[in-house]
Each structure stands twice: as C-alpha cells, then as structure tokens.
Amino acid sequence: MMTPNMNHAARFAAVASLLAAPAFAQYKQVNPQVSKIVSQISAERIAETQKKLVGFGTRMLLSKQDDPARGIGAARKWIYTQFQSYSPRLEVGYDVHRVKKMEGAASRIPRDTDLYNVIAVLPGTTNKEERILIGGHYDSIVLGKPGGGEPEPGEILPLRDPDLDAPGATDDASGTAAVLELARVLSQYTFEKTLVFITFAGEEEGLVGSNLYAAKAKEEGQKIEALLNNDIIGFDTSLGGRTESHRVAIYSEDPQDSPSRQIARYVQDMAERYVPWMHADPVFRADRFGRGGDHTPFNMEGFAAVRITTPQENLANEHSITDVFANTVPEYTARVAQVNAAAAASLAWAPKTPATTHDVTRNGRKTTELLLDRGKSRIDAHLTWINADPEPDLLGYAVVWRTTTAAFWEHELFVGNVSEYTFPGVSIDDLVYGVKAVDKEGNESLVAAFVPGPRVKRKIETVDQP
C-alpha cells in the first residue's frame, strides 16, 4: 500500500509488489546459444594468429605493400583470406584509401601511401540495418631513439626505416587475433543485426584508418549501434609487475549517460552473465589519460564506441622491438575475446533499443522532447518509450533507475510488453531512469536513458535606449 510518507526505496518496493512476475525468470534467463559461443573461443587459435602476424616482420603502414611474405601488404592479404575461410556468409573486402603525405618534422606519413582496412560483414536478418562493429588495428610500429634510450623533452625523433622489424605482438596483433577468432566463431550463427569485423590500418600514424572509415560511415548514414575496439589485450602484467589475469578495462566517453557509457555498462552486465571468470570493469573516461584509439574517431562522428584494453599496460614493450609473442598471454586475450563474444552476440540478437525522445513542433519550432514527465497527478514519475516496429519475439521492457550520484543502474523492474509506466508519488528530479527491451530468449537491448539533451543558450534581443 502506498502512503504519502514513504521514501523512494519504500515506494519502489511497493510498486514492485503490485506486479505479477511470471516473466522475470524468462527475462533474466541465460541464452544457451550465447554460452555456446563463449565456449568456442580458442586460446590456441589466437596464439597461432598472433605468431603469424608477428611473422610478417613488420606491419608498419609504410612497409612493403607487394612483398608476399613480409610487411603490411602480406599481412592484410593473409587477414583477408582468413576472413574468407571462416564462412561463405561473410562478405569480405577492403576499405581502401590513398592517404596524402602529411607535412611536418613529426609526421609519420612522409609520402603518399595506400591504406587498407580489412572488413568482413555478417549480414543480419530482421534488423540488418543496425550494425555492431568489432575492431582492432593490424598495423604495428617501433618508436625510440636510434640505439635505444628515451627521447629528451621536445625531441623529435627521425622516422625509423619502416621495413625494419616491428613485431607488435600485443599492440595490436592481440586485438586483431581476437577479431579474427570472433569472426570465425560468430560467423557460424545467424543474427538479427549485422556484425562487422574490421581490422584497421594506420592506427599508429594517428588513427588514420578508423578516421576515414568513421567519416565514410557517417556520410553514408550507417546505423552503428556499437563499436567494440580491442587494442592492447595481449598481456596481463604491468611494467611494475602487477598482474590482473581476470580483469579487462572498458573505456567510454562522457557524459554519464552517453550511448558509449551505456555500452560499457552493457559489456559489464553480459560478462557477469556469460563470462563470470572475467571482470569487465568500465572506466569512465574516453581512453587512457591523454591518449586515444580507433574508437575515438567514431565517438567524434557521433557513434557509440568503447575501448577494450588491459588494465596493466607494459609501456616498455609497446612500440618496441620487445613487443614479441614471448611477452604475450594468449589465454588472457582469449578471455577478453569471450567478453566481446558475450556482448556482441547478445546485442546482435537483442531487440532494438526503445526511444525515449520524439520530435515535435511547438510554436512553429521543431524540437526534441524527452518522454518523461510528472504524469497527470504532477507528483509521479511517468515514463513513455517508443518502439515503432517491435520484433515478433519481443517479451517486453524493463525499467532501470539509480540515484543521480550513482555510476551504475541500481534497480530494475520488468514491466511487461507496454509502452509506458508510472511510479506513483516518485520524483523525476533526483533519480535517473532508463528502459531496455528484452526478447523471449533473454537477450537485452542497450538501455535508453531518460536524460535531457544539452542546454541551448537563449539569445535575447535588446533595443537601444533613447
């Protein structure tokens, strides 16, 4: 029974007690197909892929394009054939660009060069326009002073011969190996949404390949629901000797309820459900301090994207000739790949994320309105959401909420196959709400948060005083 003096927690408990919950077990069930996918990830295959990539000697963007056994050209052709070998349903191709010489003493592209992103697309079925990308970069680089040693502050190092060894076993043969292994396993299944497996080039020269791909995707109006960018997932021990074998960091951009932040929370949730031996820990920062990765250009183009990376970097090996296979831990990379598999498969089978805003015209002006209000009583939390074309296997929706100072959703309630819900007597001012769609196999969409967009500065006209 609701009473005026109830606090928020008591009110939510009372609301929940009014609901029959026969669907709750189904809503929270484990999808056995996702569990099967996770179990099929092979550390041995990942190790063999890393060895093969290191075996090309160097994968620097400016290395040989036409040598059949060495350099970035040989590496990309091998990646291409690997994608082709996994399934006839994979649409394999190159995303090719001619990159112009970049001026400046510190430029890593001193001449015009060809860049190839290697892509394998697994088309979806009912929601094939929605794309989930799983990526990593296959190029490598070695930096440092000739003969070793750290550069002096402000010192610009000469460009190293691009055909010298640059093994890049962890940075980022590990991410590339994970992408290939995920393509191998996931391509044996049929998903509602389209999965795109992509290995970027030119990451080490300034995120060039991902910049070009993200800009093209934006121009084409692609619907990219998520990019899971795997970069530096090859080892679990830092330069200082600290080891974290069962933890991976998920970086996501601000603000607190950005689409990227929702992906980070989603990856954490799916890891808890399907990969309980791994802790997928969100880090609420766009990337490591002052740094970036191939997810960054996607964020800048307005796409939701996260970086998946080891929490224990070894900066002595990165961009060094010591970044060799002997310094990697393929079993750790495989566990990170399992986290990717759980999140990607769940999301690719999940219903579309419901919309919590709609476009309206008021006083002759078009605006986007948040579907959250105080209801007819003016003292309730009234939530409305939109799913214009619900999937046939839709079970219903779950509402989530948390206090404004909490980082993660603290509570959730399955409310059925409805398009609105009211919490009687509960404020909309000091809580954050969200909603997600759930299908009959337990696959959950991303959460759509009920948060207002950025404020627009109002321009006030004045007149001159007489």
Is 434 in contact with 357 (CB distance < 8 Å)? no
- Chain region(s) in the chain for CATH 3.40.630.10: 32-149+159-349
d(CA 280, CA 269) in angstroms, rounded, equals 8
Q: How many Å apart are CA 173 and CA 237, to the nearest integer?
A: 17
Rounded to an integer, the average pLDDT of 110-117 is: 94
Structure tokens at 311: 């929490």
**pLDDT tens digits, 124-165:** 999 999 999 999 999 999 987 655 555 666 666 666 788 899
**What integer pLDDT is reported at residue 188 of this predicted model?**
98
Structure tokens that stand for 347 in this block: 């999301």
How many residues appear in the chain?
A: 466
Calpha distance 125→282 (Å, rounded): 31
Question: Would you call 404 exposed, middle or buried from its count of C-beta atoms within 10 A (0-12, 13-18, 19+)?
Answer: exposed
The predicted structure's pLDDT at residue 58 = 97
Q: Answer whether 26's CB lies under 8 Å from 440's CB.
A: yes
User: CB under 8 Å to 372, separation ≥6 — which residues?
Assistant: 356, 381, 382, 383, 384, 428, 433, 450
H or E element, residue 83? helix 72-86
User: Which of the residue ranges 1-10, 27-36, 374-383 would you say has the lowest mean pLDDT?
Assistant: 1-10
Write out the two tokens for 367: 């605006």
When comparing pLDDT for 242 and 465, which is higher? Answer: 242
| Domain covering 32-149+159-349 in this structure, CATH number | 3.40.630.10
Question: Regarding predicted confidence, which is higher, 87 or 313?
Answer: 87
Distance in angstroms (rounded) separating the CA atoms of residues 185 and 37: 7
Write the pLDDT tens digit of every residue in 208-222. 999 999 999 999 999
Task: Place 360 in a pLDDT band, splitting at 50, 70 and 90.
Answer: confident
What stretch of H or E contains 322?
A: none
Q: What fold characterizes domain 8-29+352-449?
A: Immunoglobulin-like (2.60.40)
* pLDDT tens per residue, range 221-250: 999 999 999 999 999 888 888 888 999 999
Q: H/E/C letters for each residue in the chain? A: CCCCCCCHHHHHHHHHHCCCCCCHHHHCCCCHHHHHHHHCCCHHHHHHHHHHHHCCCECCCCCCCCCCCCCHHHHHHHHHHHHHHHCCCCEEEEEEEEECCCCCCCCCCCCCEEEEEEEEEECCCCEEEEEEEEEEECCCCCCCCCCCCCCCCCCCCCCCCCCCCECCCCCCHHHHHHHHHHHHHHCCCCCCEEEEEEEECCHHHCCHHHHHHHHHHHHHCCEEEEEEEECCCCCCECCCCCECCCEEEEECCCCCCCHHHHHHHHHHHHHHHHCCCCEEEEECCCCCCCCCCCCHHHHHCCCCEEEEECCCCCCCCCCCCCCCHHHCCHHHHHHHHHHHHHHHHHHHHCCCCCECEEEEEECCEEEEEECEECCCCCCCEEEECECCCCCCCEEEEEEEEEECCCCCCCEEEEEECCCEEEECCCCCCCEEEEEEEEECCCCECCCEECCCCCCCCCCCCCCCCC
Query: Which tokens hold the place of 87?
Result: 């399934």
Dist CA 82 CA 340 (whole Å): 19
394's enclosing H/E stretch is strand 394-403
- Quick one: pLDDT at residue 21? 47
Share of the chain above pLDDT 90, in %: 75
- 305 pLDDT higher than 60: yes
Among residues 455, 424, 258, 436, the alpha carbon closest in space to that of 351 is found at 436
Considering the chain, what percentage of its residues have pLDDT values greater than 70? 90
Reference 277, options 338, 358, 201, 191; nearest CA is 338
Mean pLDDT, the chain, rounded, equals 90
Mean pLDDT along residues 371-383? 93
Q: How confident is the model at residue 286 (pLDDT cuts 50, 70, 90)?
A: very high
Helix (H) or strand (E) holding 171: none
- For residue 18, pLDDT beyond 80: no
Alpha carbon 346 to its chain centroid, in Å, reads 13
The model's pTM: 0.91
Res. 314 pLDDT band, cuts 50 70 90: confident
- CATH 2.60.40.10, the chain: domain bounds: 8-29+352-449
pLDDT of residue 455: 76
